[in-house]
């Protein structure tokens, strides 16, 4: 079981300085998300890392999703966000729909299954938890690459850009139904 505290503010700008999960590569990915999305993010986590990082990574996704879901209470948002980001030989793409309907489309095949001691299969667990609790449609794809680190980092940078764009304040509800949710 993990003990995690998260604050997330899409209007605060982000430098990732308040991110500490005990999982180095995951901290690096969350920092890229925060910085490139201009999203204020603070994460403090501790958990059963002696077993593995699974609970810390998944539970962080749940709490970040919960925090993002709260943003709609402040008023309407732009709703859609999209980014394609290169990093060296890698290219990743993310699209977001703040629809109130959770969905994850995940296409990522990493040539190396680990970066250091981080199991890259945990990224899908994080994204599933995040999109579910945020109640967003999230489409992520690593189009290509040769280095798993570069591919994952491009993915988190693209996710930051897409989420940051989707949660920009809007003048009115961007739905033909009149509301999101």
107-131: pLDDT as tens digits? 999 999 999 999 999 999 999 999 9
Residue 179 predicted with pLDDT over 80 = no
**pLDDT at site 13:** 78
- Please count the structural domains in the chain: 1
Long-range contacts at 118-124 (CB < 8 A, ≥ 24 apart): 118/23, 118/24, 118/25, 118/26, 118/53, 119/52, 119/53, 120/148, 120/152, 122/26, 122/53, 122/54, 122/57, 122/58, 123/29, 123/57, 123/152, 123/155
**pLDDT at site 174:** 59
More confident residue, 12 or 156: 156
137 assigned to some structural domain: yes
**pLDDT at site 49:** 80
Which of 25-39, 137-151, 159-173 has the weakest average pLDDT?
159-173
Which of 9-18, 90-99, 133-142, 158-167 has the weakest average pLDDT?
9-18
176 assigned to some structural domain: no
173 assigned to some structural domain: no
172 assigned to some structural domain: no
Show the domain range for 105. 3-166
**pLDDT at site 177:** 55
46 assigned to some structural domain: yes
**pLDDT at site 84:** 98
Look up the CATH number of the domain holding residue 32: 3.30.230.40
155 assigned to some structural domain: yes
């Amino acid at each position: 079981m993990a003990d995690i505290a998260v604050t997330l503010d899409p209007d605060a700008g982000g430098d990732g300085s308040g991110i500490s999960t005990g999982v180095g590569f995951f901290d690096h990915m969350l920092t890229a998300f925060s910085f490139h999305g201009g999203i204020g993010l603070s994460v403090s986590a501790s958990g059963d890392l002696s077993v593995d990082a699974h609970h810390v990574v998944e539970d962080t996704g749940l709490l970040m999703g919960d925090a993002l879901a709260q943003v709609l209470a402040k008023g309407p948002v732009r709703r859609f966000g999209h980014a394609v980001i290169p990093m060296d030989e890698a290219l990743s793409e993310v699209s977001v729909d703040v629809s109130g309907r959770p969905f994850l489309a995940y296409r990522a095949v990493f040539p190396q299954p680990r970066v250091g001691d981080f199991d890259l299969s945990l990224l899908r667990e994080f994204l599933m938890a995040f999109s579910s609790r945020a109640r967003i449609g999230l489409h992520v794809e690593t189009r290509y690459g040769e280095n798993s680190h570069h591919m994952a980092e491009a993915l988190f940078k693209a996710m930051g850009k897409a989420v940051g764009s989707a949660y920009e304040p809007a003048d009115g509800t961007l739905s033909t139904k009149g509301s999101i949710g």
